[in-house]
Amino acid sequence: MGANCRSLHFHVLKCNYAPYGQLFSYRDVTGEHMAVTVADHTYTQRQRPAYNVRVKGIIMHPSYTGDAAAAGFDIALLQLNRAVKPNIPETLMEVGIQLAPKALCKIKVPSVDDYDTVCTDEAQGGGCNGDSGGGLHCLTPDGYNWIVYGIASASAPNCTIGFDVFALTATKLGWINAVMAAHP
């Protein structure tokens, strides 16, 4: 996998206590609306194709404990009020990063779980504030397909060089597929 991994930039909002593993309304929990911004990756242009879509519901992983990166389950699925039209971005926010050996990851970040998380180690820097929830995309060994290998959980303090922790998606696919089937 190595240099064929990419970390994409997403924003995540935190909310007050909400039920884990159950669909809930952000508005019911906080009294506020939540929206996601779609197609906002061309920061150098005044007229960007970005638009907002309201979040209808949220389901946090049922194994999430509130301890962000330790368990590798700090992920949630968002149910949007309307469909989003997929397209190829003109400008993709990405950086090439290396996967760190699991033994070294465990030494540097003792709280990580070998089964549910993976670390990256970059001398040029890696994740930063606002990257949580973003995807770690890796090229498959055949070199033809990209997969979402992990979801950004934690990065080095103050955006410094260091280890970034990602929740592995492979161990969550059963849950993701079940939620998507139950809440189309």
Give 87-131 pLDDT, tens digit per residue: 777 666 777 788 888 888 888 878 787 788 888 887 666 777 777
Rounded to 10 degrees, the C-alpha dihedral 69/59/172/52 comes to -90
- Say which CATH number the domain at 65 has: 2.40.10.10
Compute the distance between CA of residue 30 and CA of residue 18 in angstroms, rounded to an integer: 9
Give the pLDDT confidence of 134-174 residue by residue, as tens digits: 888 888 889 899 899 999 888 777 777 777 888 999 999 99
Q: Is residue 48 part of a domain?
A: yes
Share of the chain above pLDDT 70, in %: 78
For residue 143, is it within any domain?
Answer: yes
CA dist 143 and 156 (Å) reads 30
Residue 114 belongs to some domain of the structure: yes
Residue 26 confidence (pLDDT)? 84
- 79 and 147 in a single domain? The answer is no
Residue 71 falls inside a structural domain:
yes
CB 16: neighbour CB atoms within 10 A?
A: 8
Within this chain, do residues 110 and 160 fall inside the same structural domain, yes or no? yes
The domain total for the chain is: 2
| Spatial separation of the C-alpha atoms in residues 125 and 102, rounded to whole Å | 19
